[in-house]
């Protein structure tokens, strides 16, 4: 059995609190997670005489899983004898798919209605952990194995991007609770437990959070505005053309000159390809002025706090079926009040 306690002699943590006040808000972000209860769709099908490979529906984990589902999609659909390929979508999933295709020798053209910084991917927090990516009772063991394989591949790939160039870094998370924590980030018998690093349960005298149960673990963080800018540059430098274009229906997709098409349109896939399962799960974020001394994350009943270099991200709303991109003042006030109750009560 693993010893989850801190090593004897480790000094207690005295983390600096976040200053939560309305005057410190620099912006409010609203985004729609592309959620499918049965999980992401990575599937190959025929579109007339073309090959269409779907790669969408990653819910709250599309930044995390992007490289992994891209690998599955490219394995399914890329044929080196037909190197001209189209990628629909220029979010995290489309960009990772384009890069893996280029690494296999493909000549890629990306078509997208919106480019970074105007994609859902730009809004994401983004913690490297596939949270809220499916409803457990709607998935099969085969899907969960695929999900794990995708996560494992992406976990390694992101490690190769750690550093300032891509805005990927390691950070410590603190899960705060009033009861013992058993299932988050992963239960002991969940295969995903293999991707949890440096997990420890802290005793009350080992931390300064106002909660009796605190679990620490490390994850990578992806500073999405920087990461996506860099990924877009990478695909262009490797020869991709990016065409700004909105597709109204499948016939327009079928008319493209490329014979292999990767569909990475996120939530847009619902309307474009008639997928009635995909729904938005709206998330609202209050971004506060950066606090360079806050280089950790918290997750709890009140939502989450990500201590990013470009701002303190306060979030935690999961509103299924909500399409509006207008922020709700009540939701933002709730996120602010919940986090204020934590950080104002941190012991010195
Ligand atoms: C508040 C919030 C917090 C999140 N936090 C995290 C996190 O911590 N970690 C994590 O891993 N994930 C997180 N996510 C989830 C993550 O943002 C998504 O899963 C991910 O962005 C999906 O990427 P994508 O490339 O599929 O979609 P998008 O980024 O939406 O890109 C879709 C692309 O397709 C294009 N497109 C769509 N329809 C059409 C059309 N008809 N014609 C032409 N182009 C089209 C769009 O213009 C865009 O370029 C969060 C999301 C939100 C909203």
Distance 237 CA to ligand 1 centre (A): 23
Query: Does any domain span residue 314?
Result: yes
Q: Which atom of ligand 1 is nearest to the CA of 119?
A: 29
Query: Does any domain span residue 15?
Result: no
Looking at residue 1, what is its pLDDT?
38
CATH of the domain at 95: 3.30.9.10
pLDDT band at 125 (very low <50, low <70, confident <90, very high): confident
Taking only the tens place, the pLDDT of each residue in 164-222 is 999 999 999 999 999 999 999 999 999 999 999 999 999 999 999 999 999 999 999 99
Query: Does any domain span residue 121?
Result: yes
Distance 294 CA to ligand 1 centre (A): 27
Looking at residue 5, what is its pLDDT?
52
Query: Does any domain span residue 266?
Result: yes
Closest CA to 27 of 311, 323, 303: 311
Of the listed ranges 2-16, 242-256, 299-313, the one predicted with least confidence:
2-16
| Cβ–ligand 1 contact at 33 (below 6 Å) | yes
Distance 263 CA to ligand 1 centre (A): 13
Q: For 43, what's the count of Cα atoms within 13 Å in the CB-facing half-sphere?
A: 12
Q: What is the mean pLDDT of the chain?
A: 95
Q: Which range of residues forms the domain containing residue 162?
A: 22-343
| Cβ–ligand 1 contact at 55 (below 6 Å) | no
Query: Does any domain span residue 3?
Result: no
| Cβ–ligand 1 contact at 168 (below 6 Å) | no
pLDDT band at 347 (very low <50, low <70, confident <90, very high): confident
The residue-averaged pLDDT of 78-96 equals 98
The residue-averaged pLDDT of 132-153 equals 95
**By alpha-carbon position, which residue is closest to atom 9 of ligand 1?**
126
Query: Does any domain span residue 35?
Result: yes
Query: Does any domain span residue 16?
Result: no
Query: Does any domain span residue 44?
Result: yes
| Cβ–ligand 1 contact at 56 (below 6 Å) | yes
**By alpha-carbon position, which residue is closest to atom 25 of ligand 1?**
91
Cβ neighbors of 117 (< 8 A, separation 6 or more) are: 225, 228, 229
Domain count for the chain: 1
Looking at residue 3, what is its pLDDT?
45
Distance CA 94, CA 136 (A): 26
């Amino acid at each position: 059995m693993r010893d989850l306690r801190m090593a004897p002699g480790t000094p207690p943590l005295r983390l600096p609190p976040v200053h939560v006040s309305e005057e410190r808000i620099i912006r409010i972000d609203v985004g729609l997670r592309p959620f499918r209860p049965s999980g992401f769709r990575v599937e190959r099908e025929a579109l007339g005489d073309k090959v269409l490979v779907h790669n969408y529906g990653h819910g709250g984990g599309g930044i995390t899983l992007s490289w992994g589902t891209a690998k599955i999609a490219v394995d399914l659909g890329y044929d080196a004898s037909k190197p001209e390929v189209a990628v629909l979508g220029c979010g995290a999933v489309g960009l990772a798919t384009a890069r893996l295709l280029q690494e296999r020798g493909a000549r890629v053209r990306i078509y997208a209605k919106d480019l970074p910084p105007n994609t859902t991917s730009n809004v994401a927090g983004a913690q490297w952990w596939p949270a809220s990516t499916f409803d457990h009772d709607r998935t099969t063991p085969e899907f969960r194995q695929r999900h794990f394989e995708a996560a494992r591949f992406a976990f390694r790939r992101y490690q190769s991007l750690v550093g300032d160039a891509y805005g990927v870094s390691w950070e410590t998370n603190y899960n705060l609770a009033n009861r013992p924590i058993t299932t988050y980030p992963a239960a002991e018998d969940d295969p995903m437990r293999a991707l949890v690093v440096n997990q420890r349960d802290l005793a009350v005298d080992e931390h300064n959070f106002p909660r009796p149960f605190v679990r620490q673990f490390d994850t990578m963080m992806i500073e999405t505005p920087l990461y996506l800018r860099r990924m877009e540059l990478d695909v262009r430098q490797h020869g991709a053309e990016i065409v700004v274009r909105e597709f109204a229906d499948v016939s327009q997709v079928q008319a493209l000159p490329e014979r292999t098409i990767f569909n990475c349109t996120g939530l847009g896939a619902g309307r474009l390809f008639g997928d009635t399962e995909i729904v938005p799960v709206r998330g609202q974020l209050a971004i506060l002025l950066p606090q360079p001394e806050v280089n950790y994350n918290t997750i709890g009943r009140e939502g989450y706090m990500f201590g990013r270099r470009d701002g303190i991200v306060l979030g935690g709303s999961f509103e299924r079926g909500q399409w509006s991109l207008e922020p709700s003042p009540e939701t933002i006030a709730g996120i602010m009040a919940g986090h204020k109750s934590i950080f104002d009560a941190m012991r010195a």
